Structures are given as C-alpha cells and as structure tokens.
Structure 1
Amino acid sequence: MSGKPKIHPFSNMQKLVTRLRDDLTSGNQDFVLLYAYNGTGKTRLSMEFKEAGKRNNNMKPDTLYFNAFTEDLFSWDNDLEHDNERRFRINSDSRFFKGLRDLALEERIGDYLARYADFLFDIDYDNWTISFRKDEASHIKISRGEENIFIWCIFMAICERMIDGAESYAWVKYIYIDDPISSLDDNNAIAVASDLAKMLHRAKSRTKKETVSGIERTIPDPIKTVLSTHHALFFNVVCNELKKEAHKKYFLHRPDRGTAYTLRATDDVPFFHHVAMLAEVQKAASDGKLYTYHFNMLRSIMEKTATFFGRDDFSSCIHGVEDEVLYARALNLLSHGKYAIYQPMEMVEDTKKLFRDILSAFLIKYQFALPDMLETIPAVASAPNPASVPEEILAP
C-alpha cells in the first residue's frame, strides 16, 4: 500500500455537509478542521451546514455560526449631518443576539478585545447601537480590521456564556466558524487562534446535570465544531492546540470551481494546498481554459516556493526564459488589479501563451509530485521558446 491519504469526492455541497455532520456524530469527532483557499465556497458551506441542521430538526436550528453574514449583522451610522457621533448599529432581530442584553457580556467582550486592540466601547441596549472611544476621543470610526475583531470578540463572549449553560443558547449543538480573522498581523492571528482553541476545548468538554429517579448526575453535553479557513498560520496554530483532541483535518478543494468537492485527509494540509493549486493551474493551461485569476494563483505558488528556498522574491523562481526580468514584471502586473478571482475574464491568446511559458519554465526547474485529485496532465517536456509579450507589459 502506498499510504497516501485518500481523497473523498462529493458531487455537491449537500453530500459534503452530510459527511461533515457524520464525522461529528457517528464518527465521534469533536472537531472538523478544513483548510481551503479563497473562492472554494467556504461561506456557502457554513450556511448549508446550518440549513441541514434545521431540516434534520423540524426546522429548529442547531448551529451557531460565524461567517461573513455574521459581520453583516452590524452596520455603521456615520452621522452624516453632524459628522461627530458615529455609531455601530446591531440588527437586534437576529437570533444571534438573543439574550445579549441579559447576559451582561461587556466585561467578557472587553477582556478579549484588550488582547487584540487598544480602543474601548459602550453598548446602548435601548437603541441597539455601539459607540467606540480611544484616549480622549469618543464616537470614533474604527477600521475594518478593528471592526471585524470586535465582532469576533462578541462571538467569543457569546460562546463562553453558551458553554456555561445560558438558556438563550440552549438550542446550540454545533458551532461553525468560517475565516474568523481579517487584516490581523501574525501575532494577533496566533493569539486569536490560541484563544479559540481554548474555547473549543471547553465546548467539547461541556457537561450538564440531569435528575433520574430523584438522583442528580452530571452527563456529557458537548458542543462540536467545524472550522474552515484559508489562513495557513491560523490553521496551524489551531491544529497544534487541538492535536490531542478527537478531530479530522481536511484539505477542501473544488476542482474547476464547479459544483463538486473533494476532501483530502492529511497531516500536512497547510503545505499541501499550493500543490493542489498548481495541479489546477496546470490542468487549466492544458485545457486552454485560462482566466486572469490564474495569474494570482501562479504568483501565490511561486511566492511560497521562493519562501521555502529562502529567497526574497517570487521572481527568483522564473527560469529558462529569454528575459526573466520581463517575465517577472508580466506576472507581477497580471496578478493584480482587475485580474481578480471574483471578476474572471478569459485571457487573450498572447497572454495564454505567456502564462504557459512561465508555468512550463517553473515546472521544469521545480519537480512537484502533483496530487491525483485532478486528471493527469502530460508533463512538460522542454523549455519554452521566447513568447510575444502583451503590449501592456512592454509599456513603460
């Protein structure tokens, strides 16, 4: 036997969710940890997991989630008329905030916030607004990164009260967390991951008291968790903190960005994902289905390769072409700006040839063992000939 981790295919997201829930129930896992790069559909997966719980439970929810929709429960009132009393509004209709007023969370929110930021806050429950202050300034506007970390602190405080047995959240059986951090430096990413792991350990160890035949006893009442993220450092820290717990780690992949998914169980997930990206890029180059976002993917792969070899810049990984500086400039320009994964445009033929030349030279220099989750692509046999470079690259 080769010992290679098995790849599990799923024809749609619903079947993938069934597998994740099975891991947590019949599989007796406390956690499922998913690593997936952006554009895989992690947010939609978290919502489908939530909806599956409702379908299985007579339309009663069983999942408390944190994702992009959680952040949308807050909005800014920037006081456009006077421009001096900016407030963060709470959508109090959401079940997420049920019991928020009664649980007195300010102190716990503040404890978490003090670890990551240096501003303070005040909650007005009558008007369901939050104001922020720093030093002598009040009603300040905080940055998007600070806004995200504040919302995360609210979520963590709610989870703590839920673990303690707050009646308002007695319906929660699962937690689903998708990409909880944004715009954090590495130190804060490590701190957030460590704090989260400690909270998840408490959640899986939760107990409750029950009385049977007049005798009170304590029984397990765990809350189980799915975590998905594209942040390698964050994922690594959580994995290390939970390594002694019952859990599954997967690399989540969506081949060709279609409706099918694959899960690959591996202990080397954070370092494996860029190899899977390379397999997808090579397949796109072979099929001729090249879009501008493939430049972003190729640049990311080269950056990780350069880092591995201790080099300062991805351009050091461009070899075997007539003008390596020019090719590096082309890749740099074409992997920014409008060439985004969320606004895909098919490359023109000259740009496709340029892409294939850069990729071919890279694969000749660095011999990767590509995963079998994609169709086998014929190996590149020889170095490319000099390509014609698009006019926008040649322009000063």
Structure 2
Amino acid sequence: MAGVHLTVAGLADEVLNGLAESRTALIYAPNTIGKTRLAQHLKERAPESVVLYNSFVEDVFTWDNDRVVLKMNPESELLETIVTQGLDSAIVDNFQDFTSGRIEPRIDLESGEVNFGIHKGDDSSTDGIKISRAEESIFIWSVYYAVLSEAIETLRDSPDMRSTDNYDLLTLAVIDDPVSSMDDVRIVSVALALSALIKRASELDLRFIIATHHALFFNVLFNSLRRKSNSAYILSRDPVAGWMLSKQSKDSPFSYHLGIIKEIKEAISEDSIARVHFNQFRALLEKTANFLGHTGGWGDLLTGPDAALVTKVLNLYSHDRFADIDTFEVAEEYKDAFRSEFQEFLKAFRWAAAS
C-alpha cells in the first residue's frame, strides 16, 4: 500500500492480503530494512503452515574447523525433516547442480555432519575440504530447496496417496535472501530453479513470499514469474513511522540504487566497510553500465587512480573459489581504494544519487 506506513504486523497483513489475488509476492529491499524481521514474524504467527528460509536457517549450520566438517544442529526441525524424508541424496544432487562442480557433500544423517570432498576414485581424491562462504550458502539453500521440492511433490499427490502428512497444513513458503555471497551465475541458477518450482506448485493452495536485497535475483524472478497472478513490491522503512510497501511494475530501473548508495556512504563514514559493500558497489556499477550502454562493461566506470586495484578486488570478492578472501575482514589498502573510487564514481555519475 503505497504511501501508508505500517508496523511489522501491518506489513505482514498487507503482503498476505495481496496473496489473496496473487500466488507470489516478490519484495525488494536493501539490507537493514527489515526483511528478516518480516519473514520471522510470518513464521511465528503460523508456525505449522509456513516453511521458512532466512538467516536463522543458516544458523542451524556451523563449522567444526578442527575436523573440517559442517555440522547441523541435531535439535533442528530441518535435520529431522531430512532424516524422516530421506532427503540426503536430493541435497547432494541439488548442490552439484547449482555449483556445476566436482565437490561432493557426504551427509552423515546420524551425526548431522557434512564432509566435502572431491571423489574421483583414484589417488587424486580428497576429503575434508573447507568450502567457501558462497558454496556454504549454496549448500544450505540446497537443503531448503530439497525440503520445499519434497513438500510440493507430496502436496501434488491426492491426500490418500501421500507418503507423509507432514506438509498437509503448509500454505506459505517464505524465502528471505537465499543468495548471500553467491556470484551472478549462481544467483541466476537459483532464481530460475526457484521460478520453475513455483510454477510446478501452480495448482496447489501454496503461496510464496520472496524478499531480497539483490537486484539481479529480483530481476530474474520478476521476469520469470511475470504474469497477473504474481505481485512485486519495494519495501522501505522510516525509523519512526514504520514500513512502506510500494507496488513495483517493472524489473528495472528502480530506486534500489539509492539504498545501496546510502548503505555504502554510511559504511565509509562509520569505517565499517565489509565485503558486502564491495559486492553492492559492483552491482551498482553493473546496473549503471547497462543503463548507459557501456559495451566494455562496468570496469569502464572506474577511472580514478585506484581503478585497477578496485576492479581486481571486486572480481575477487564476487568469486567463491578464492579461499584466502573467505572472510568478512577487508584489508585497509582495499578500504582506502574503495573509498577513493566510490567518491570518484559519485562525482562522475551524479544522476545516480538523485531522487
């Protein structure tokens, strides 16, 4: 409802009311706006009818660095579902489909531990690989995707033919930013697979709410699901007045770049620059290059004295195979170059910060 500020409960009501006529609500919002709070609120108000993906799902998984295994909380509902429905093979298949790689997860359902390795059947095989943050995100998404796929396939059967009644009360899938740390190729793959799954559920009484801060993820889903039965929104928030939900009729351009610029400016002023801000800057550069028709790509827009270094770091930070940068810590040299090139960008493209 454009122009009306809402509490989190009012925001949830607004989105759910829109689902009376739409099957899917696609919401764009920059980080810190409140996507996770909305997702958690929707789960808490109807726990049995909502299957949720958000950062709390990611917290179910922790690394045992000494043994180099990814551990799942043995008390989690997610692990219980994996065990009871026998989804370990589906998770492995999903992970390898999304990564198109040689790394294979081996899931021990009894201990809830996952070992990653390259298994060639010869002396070059290896176990105990510490995967990157992006690959970890893909693995966790592969778990949720397996559960959601199983739920949809089960609900497509007639009630008397279903293998389990665990999903009978399910009416809503809430998905909050599943593409953290992923590169653009993986983001597109995840978006297209999710779109196909949503279409497969078209005859079910199952609705989807998908929230993201990533413009590419929003763009691919918007175009893949583009029809009258799906709605798109932009979510904003005033610290005092509350949230505001505005209808979005186009995939681009829209004002998400203002939120990105604001976040980066705040990070610079507070000396809290992190990898996420480099990735945001790259997204901003890509969108600007596309808008202006730069055939050479976004790198052409970096023209300051630190352009070469920032281009290198932006490429590295979007690439999930570089283990030495698999951390939220950013070198001071990179931060200084980032500050310089971001200011040069704002000077050269003043329109990007205009309202």
TM-score, length basis structure 1: 0.65
1:49: how far off?
1.5
* RMSD between superposed Cα atoms in Å: 3.5
Q: Does 2:77 correspond to 1:95?
A: yes
Q: Does 2:248 correspond to 1:250?
A: no
Q: Give the residue type in structure 2 aligned to 1:89.
A: K
1:73: how far off?
0.5
- What is the rounded CA distance, in whole Å, between the counterparts of 1:270 and 1:294 in structure 2? 29
Q: Give the residue type in structure 1 aligned to 2:17.
A: D
| Equivalent residue, structure 1, for 2:40 | 47
1:31: how far off?
0.5
- Residue of structure 2 aligned with 1:185, choices 183, 194, 199: 183
Q: Does 2:19 correspond to 1:35?
A: no
- What is the rounded CA distance, in whole Å, between the counterparts of 2:136 and 2:260 in structure 1? 34
**How many pairs are equivalent?**
296
Q: Give the residue type in structure 1 aligned to 2:217.
A: F
Superposed, 1:219-258 pairs within 5 Å as: 222-244=205-227, 246-255=229-238, 257-258=239-240
TM-score, length basis structure 2: 0.71
User: Residue 120 of structure 1 aligns to a residue in which SS?
Assistant: strand
Q: Give the residue type in structure 1 aligned to 2:61.
A: F
Max Rg structure: 1
| Equivalent residue, structure 2, for 1:218 | none
| 1:321-353, Cα deviation, whole Å (9 max, x unpaired) | xxxx68x99xx9xxx9xxxxxxxxxxxxxxxxx
| Equivalent residue, structure 2, for 1:140 | 129
Q: Is the 8 A contact 1:252 1:264 kept in 2?
A: yes
Superposed, 1:116-131 pairs within 5 Å as: 116-117=98-99, 118-131=102-115
| Equivalent residue, structure 2, for 1:352 | none
Q: Does 2:1 correspond to 1:11?
A: no
Distance 1:293 1:127, change over 3 A: same
Q: Which runs of 4+ in 1 moved over 4 A?
A: 278-281, 290-302, 313-316, 355-363
Distance 1:302 1:120, change over 3 A: closer
Q: Give the residue type in structure 2 aligned to 1:308.
A: F
Q: Give the residue type in structure 1 aligned to 2:184.
A: D
Q: Give the residue type in structure 1 aligned to 2:142.
A: C
- Residue of structure 2 aligned with 1:114, choices 96, 110, 120: 96
Where relative contact order (Cα < 8 A, 6+ residues apart) is larger, the structure is: 2
User: Residue 182 of structure 1 aligns to a residue in which SS?
Assistant: coil
Superposed, 1:212-361 pairs within 5 Å as: 222-244=205-227, 246-255=229-238, 257-258=239-240, 260-274=242-256, 276-277=258-259, 292=270, 303=285, 304-309=287-292, 310=294, 312-314=299-301
Q: Is the 8 A contact 1:203 1:223 kept in 2?
A: yes
Q: Is the 8 A contact 1:64 1:96 kept in 2?
A: no
- What is the rounded CA distance, in whole Å, between the counterparts of 1:204 and 1:163 in structure 2? 10
1:96: how far off?
2.7
| Equivalent residue, structure 1, for 2:58 | 71
Q: Give the residue type in structure 2 aligned to 1:48.
A: H
Percent identical among aligned pairs is: 28
Note the residue ranges of structure 2 that are not aligned, 5 or more in a row: 120-124, 155-163, 315-341
| Equivalent residue, structure 2, for 1:389 | none
- What is the rounded CA distance, in whole Å, between the counterparts of 2:16 and 2:255 in structure 1? 23
Note the residue ranges of structure 1 that are not aligned, 5 or more in a row: 1-5, 55-60, 207-221, 317-324, 337-354, 371-396
| Equivalent residue, structure 2, for 1:158 | 147
